Structure 1
Amino acid sequence: MCTSHDHHQGEAAQAGAGRRGFLRATALLGAAATAAVALPAVAEAAERSSRRPDAESRRFTLVVMPDTQYLFDGPSIDPAPVEASLRYLLEHGKDENIVFLSHLGDLTQNGAEEEFAAISEAFELLDRRGVGYSVLAGNHDIKSSTDDQRGSTPYLDAFGPQRFRSKSTFGGASPDGYNTYHLFRAAGREWLVLALDWRLSAKGYAWVKDVLARHPRTPVILTTHELVVEDDQLSAYGGQLWDRLIEDHDQIFLTLNGHYWPAGRATRKNAAGNEVHLHLTNYQNRYFGGAAMIRLYHFDLDRNVIDVETVSPWILGRAAKGLNELERQEIELSGDADRFSVEIDFAERFSGFDAVPARPARPVSQMLIPGTVAYWRFESPVSGTVRDLSGRGNDLTVVSVGGDSLGWSPDHHPDQPGHGSLELQGFKSPLKGAYLRTVDGAPLNSATFEDGYTIEAFYRLPADWDPDHNAWSGIVSRTGTGGAAGKTADDPDEPLATLSLSDDREPQWAMRPLNQEGIATNWGQETPLETWWHLAVVNDGRHTTLYVEGCPVVRNPKAAAVGITSVGLPWLLGGYEYAGKIDQILHGRLGDVRIVERALPVTSFMNRPTDRRQDVRLAG
């Protein structure tokens, strides 16, 4: 799958603009807003929200709502900010792929029946549309000196298990009703949210551990009212939760809590040596009791990141009528504690309890698609001849410079068909290393590809790659010079075709087409070290496009380029000639290489027939 950070940023900007446009248009006002004004917009939003979240998309959003207690405080009850935030979910459930909402407790100030009646009615906005959410009791929702064995309360009457049993996301509750767990599907797998009471009893701890034992492969987000007290510090009770529950359960990778302010974060390593991210979010001390501010946790499993932003839909909705000075400060929080990214290699982080099985090597026969003229893979050490697995006779021989030989490694691109790679140790001055060349008389040597071609290769550069000694080495190249072919425009000593790496590690396809004297060049972007990359050069008989990881590069020329000029000389893997002599040898690992005498769609590239990310989804 082609993923682009810039593309993601563009989508995020569009989503942000859409959010603001919606909120202004529907005028989600404060206490003065009337249901008559909002109902048409809400009905339209609710209708759109009937479409379920995309459970397969590797981008999804978890919404978090912290302490709303000052909005439900005796005679000072104002549900409008909470309703605005909940309407946000209804309107943007589709475009932001919102999968779940977690309230972090202290729904009310006094735990009174009338306060719970008001916030309960607000949450009916989600109930009517079947949107999954969880709530939990904070110290203001119940008697703070009690634990989850306290018995009946207005909180339990309003938000006990009976409220959630009809929801598809509801997993179950502890016998006392104060602890619940919820399951949602996203990124092709199951995720679990724990909603834990203000204080766990011994029975509560036993219940939670049983839930985790019954879902041993499921990543867990733990929500509770009190845990982190400030940056890098847990409260006394938070320390107890860590010691008795979180530390020994590797599934718990993220915790969310309110209660304290200002917002803060902590990171601790659990018993398995993995990081657990612990976040405090609470804005009740800010304007209008926090104005039902919500946190949006945007998970992106392709970029291995969670992007977090904090907004108040209620204040955004008031913007059309003009904001007061404090509202302007609170409309969207942008401080380091409120807008940030958390980098998580999800597959690695979850591997201790839900390892994704290694994908087996794909049979050679699957790679020999129609038009394949050469296919080489390196699944064992190389000595002597490397057979062309296409059966076309384009075998390779080893060429050594300075007595060097080719190494081998089991390392390979995760989407590579063959499991193994050549280890090349090229060095510029003095020139040394070893590379491969096609045998004399190989059909590939004279092929000109007038009807198009696709050249693919996997490569990885090591940490000690140095542009002074390793730049401009070829991954795949054709020998013979422009001068020898009678094409003297540009530099006549350059080879007829080369897929090389610049001093900035940019892949470059430079070649002389049949239809022009000069060199046609496609440029890619810098490719980082110690990372496997897949390259594909595709010519449809008229134009050439270079792809990096299945994504077209920006510097693909529009000029026509037909075929590849030949003077009947060999092709090289890992080597580059200048003026007819070997000039540079690759320093890095080289995986499978395939040449096809037609243009392939991206879906037929070697890294696509069975996508690793699809395997992850199926495994989940």
Structure 2
Amino acid sequence: MTAAEPQNPLHRRALLRVAAALPVAGAGVAAFEASAQAAPGPAPAGATASAHTSTAHGGPFDPVSPRFVLAVLPDTQYLFDADSADPAPLREAFRHLVAERGEANIAFMTHLGDVTEHGTEDEIERAADTFRTIHGKVPYSVLAGNHDIDSGDDQRGDSAYLAAFGPARYKSMPTYRGASPDGYNTYHVLKAADRSWLVLALDWRISDKGLTWAQGVLDAHPTLPAVLTTHDIAWADDDGKAQLSDNGERLWDGLVRGNDQIFLALGGHYWPPGRTVLRNDSDNDVHVHITNYQDRYYGGAGMIRTYGFDLARGVVDVETFSPWLLARDPEKRSPLEAETIELTGDADRFSLDIDFDERFKGFAPVAVPKPRPASAVMPRGTVAYWRFDAAGTSAGGTAGKPVANGAVVRDLTGNGNDLTVSRLAAGGSDALTWSADHHPGQPAHASLRFDGGKSPDRGAILTTAARAALNSEKFLRGYTIETFVRLPEPFEGDHSWMGILSWEGRNGDAGKTTGWSPLEPTCSLNLSPERFLQFVVYPQRQDADPTSWSHAVPVGRWIHIALVNDGRRTVMYVDGSKIARNPSQPSTGIATLGKPFVLGATQFDESFGQGFYGWMGDTRIVNRALSAHEFLTPYA
């Protein structure tokens, strides 16, 4: 509606020059909830599409994908300004959202108010007619801005706006859940990223009755993360630093700060755009953003902003662009059109780092999977399986409790490949301790904490007995070796080339001649100085040392590692994902020498120089290649 408040007069920035680019391509997939209440209503023409089907325009969309987009449309009032109206930019924005719904993964669109300049019946009707382009194809919400109604709060009564954009418009949408008795406030529930999300679309001046209604909505949906949308919540200075407006202060004190569910609050009304982060009563972040481009060329040129939620990466990527200008022939764009296609300033294009599980745990904690018994995770061909809970070792029970030398970790297959604990020369009692920490998908809820290192050589190892069957297993038909690992954060000290697991012995003693050194063991999983996993194996049937290398693995986070050989070649997987650097050369079996299998270190010339540094969880060896969905933590 207006520039920032008087203490921050509008500074006219130069429009950004953009070469081209469609900013939302490849953002992920999303959808809205298909099981919502649906009822016929006098909304504009257009059939509502199911969340689990394709539309003629939008293509398929996936409500369980971890990536989805929330589209935001700010003040369009200058496009519906009496006889100066030109709805073409908005119509093209809607066409874009419909056409890109599947490809750009659009779950929902929310308009932030000031649809029109004067709120007359003619302007409102023209805007409502323009919304036919999107209606029934992408679900959306619209709220009243101060230019859409005469005055007052949401108790103002009937208006042309309410007749066109009131509850009746949304009743055919699967996302619509209800409205306040006055009709000016609505709420919507969408299904995306395999969970439900709440969108509150609040009048520009919500009344006390409206606040009570909104609180009731939150109380009725206590586990849903919520996005609050309204017309007037914050204003920004020319650097994009935002602060709450008077109305925003009222919303903050009356609704937002006390409801941890609200993690994102979006408003228009003021320009320039801006953002800030506030802390609520639960000491969690609430992101507050202003989106408004009516002051820019062609009344904002139908600018839309996309919020690309990526729960796999823990980020929200925000981008701003004009589909109307993007659709123009580049050779025919005027200078101002070319400058306004996409906005890339700090307030227009940015990313938010959000650990969604952590942010939402206060009202929607992630259910921790229950431990799975050993019998449930020993498929055909399992030759060894070790875990560090009460089923596998008596060391468990107290976090930080040392696991003594001589302690035995049983092979739960019954094949006799039990592991016995010992320490390297400089390994004290804290070189190996018990921990309840574990990968969320790990069958056993326990691990061992290794405190290995160099200079002096320290650490702890777990080894099979001298005559254990695993020592001489050749795996000629293939194998799958799995383990769970977490590296400390910060990752302190020199731990380059530390071993995670290995077989003892020298590859030269097995008659191998091609490797880096005849003194390294016949099979080992190690960590390079760059934190790349290295799996090097000397096959039984080839004189070779095919070696798989991962990317740099993270610190402070559990990972699952799987080494899979089908009798012909070996492939490494990290978190169920095949890594790039897997050798194509033949690899059949493992040239074991009848010497012990080891967890926690790798030998060189039959000597241990350092121990593993970090946590290690369940470890399993199967004498055949497993697919990803058969791993200890299954991957689809």
Same fold? TM cut 0.5? yes
1:387 aligns with 2:396: no
Q: State the Cα distance separating 1:62 from its structure 2 match.
A: 0.9
1:434 aligns with 2:460: yes
What residue in structure 1 maps to residue 106 of structure 2?
98
What residue in structure 1 maps to residue 529 of structure 2?
503
What residue in structure 2 maps to residue 275 of structure 1?
285
Q: State the Cα distance separating 1:321 from its structure 2 match.
A: 5.8
> In structure 2, do the counterparts of structure 1 residues 76 and 14 end up closer, same or farther at CA, with 3 Å as the change threshold?
closer
What residue in structure 1 maps to residue 220 of structure 2?
214
Q: Is the 8 A contact 1:130 1:167 kept in 2?
A: no
What residue in structure 2 maps to residue 486 of structure 1?
511
What residue in structure 2 maps to residue 312 of structure 1?
322
Of stretches 565-574 and 230-239 in structure 1, the one that deviates more from structure 2 is 230-239
Q: State the Cα distance separating 1:323 from its structure 2 match.
A: 0.4
Of stretches 487-496 and 345-354 in structure 1, the one that deviates more from structure 2 is 487-496
Q: Is the 8 A contact 2:26 2:103 kept in 1?
A: no
Question: 5+ unaligned residues in a row in structure 2: which ranges?
Answer: 1-20, 29-53, 396-402
What residue in structure 2 maps to residue 261 of structure 1?
271
What residue in structure 1 maps to residue 77 of structure 2?
69
> In structure 2, do the counterparts of structure 1 residues 588 and 294 end up closer, same or farther at CA, with 3 Å as the change threshold?
same
Q: In the TM superposition, what are the counterparts of 1:146-161 in structure 2 within 5 Å? A: 146-161=152-167
Amino acid in structure 2 at the alignment position of 1:591: G
Q: In the TM superposition, what are the counterparts of 1:505-524 in structure 2 within 5 Å? A: 505-524=531-550
Amino acid in structure 2 at the alignment position of 1:16: A
Deviations 1:36-72 (A, max 9, x none): xxxxxxxxxx952475632111111111100000010
Of stretches 511-520 and 168-177 in structure 1, the one that deviates more from structure 2 is 511-520
Query: Is the partner of 1:70 in helix, strand or coil?
Result: helix
1:358 aligns with 2:368: yes
Query: Is the partner of 1:85 in helix, strand or coil?
Result: helix
Quote the Cα distance in structure 1 between the aligned partners of 2:147 and 2:60.
34
1:474 aligns with 2:474: no
Quote the Cα distance in structure 2 between the aligned partners of 1:512 and 1:238.
66
Quote the Cα distance in structure 2 between the aligned partners of 1:360 and 1:317.
52
What residue in structure 2 maps to residue 132 of structure 1?
139
Query: Is the partner of 2:460 in helix, strand or coil?
Result: strand
Q: May I ask how many residue pairs the two structures share in their alignment?
A: 570
From 65, 69, 75, the equivalent of 1:57 is 65
Q: State the Cα distance separating 1:519 from its structure 2 match.
A: 2.2
Q: Is the 8 A contact 2:98 2:137 kept in 1?
A: no
Quote the Cα distance in structure 1 between the aligned partners of 2:506 and 2:27.
55
Question: 5+ unaligned residues in a row in structure 1: which ranges?
Answer: 1-11, 20-45, 612-620
Quote the Cα distance in structure 2 between the aligned partners of 1:360 and 1:446.
35
> In structure 2, do the counterparts of structure 1 residues 276 and 322 end up closer, same or farther at CA, with 3 Å as the change threshold?
same
Of stretches 345-354 and 369-378 in structure 1, the one that deviates more from structure 2 is 345-354
Of stretches 438-447 and 91-100 in structure 1, the one that deviates more from structure 2 is 91-100
Amino acid in structure 1 at the alignment position of 2:214: V
From 16, 34, 56, the equivalent of 1:48 is 56
Quote the Cα distance in structure 1 between the aligned partners of 2:23 and 2:564.
32
1:83 aligns with 2:109: no
Of stretches 432-441 and 52-61 in structure 1, the one that deviates more from structure 2 is 52-61
Q: State the Cα distance separating 1:339 from its structure 2 match.
A: 1.2
Query: Is the partner of 1:483 in helix, strand or coil?
Result: helix
> In structure 2, do the counterparts of structure 1 residues 387 and 18 end up closer, same or farther at CA, with 3 Å as the change threshold?
closer
1:336 aligns with 2:346: yes
Q: In the TM superposition, what are the counterparts of 1:187-226 in structure 2 within 5 Å? A: 187-226=193-232
Scaled by the length of structure 2, what TM-score is found? 0.87
Query: Is the partner of 1:245 in helix, strand or coil?
Result: helix
Q: Is the 8 A contact 1:467 1:504 kept in 2?
A: no
1:290 aligns with 2:300: yes
Aligned alpha-carbon RMSD (Å): 1.9
> In structure 2, do the counterparts of structure 1 residues 415 and 178 end up closer, same or farther at CA, with 3 Å as the change threshold?
same
Quote the Cα distance in structure 1 between the aligned partners of 2:206 and 2:491.
54
1:174 aligns with 2:199: no
Amino acid in structure 2 at the alignment position of 1:203: K
Q: State the Cα distance separating 1:400 from its structure 2 match.
A: 1.6
> In structure 2, do the counterparts of structure 1 residues 318 and 130 end up closer, same or farther at CA, with 3 Å as the change threshold?
closer
Query: Is the partner of 2:329 in helix, strand or coil?
Result: helix
Question: Quick one: percent identity of the two aligned structures?
Answer: 50
Quote the Cα distance in structure 1 between the aligned partners of 2:578 and 2:187.
44
Scaled by the length of structure 1, what TM-score is found? 0.89
Query: Is the partner of 1:289 in helix, strand or coil?
Result: helix
Of stretches 484-493 and 392-401 in structure 1, the one that deviates more from structure 2 is 484-493
Quote the Cα distance in structure 1 between the aligned partners of 2:445 and 2:26.
45
What residue in structure 2 maps to residue 110 of structure 1?
118
Quote the Cα distance in structure 1 between the aligned partners of 2:142 and 2:387.
54
The structure in which a higher percent of residues are helix is 1
Query: Is the partner of 1:608 in helix, strand or coil?
Result: coil
Q: Is the 8 A contact 2:27 2:105 kept in 1?
A: no
Q: Is the 8 A contact 1:58 1:187 kept in 2?
A: yes
From 455, 458, 465, the equivalent of 2:491 is 465
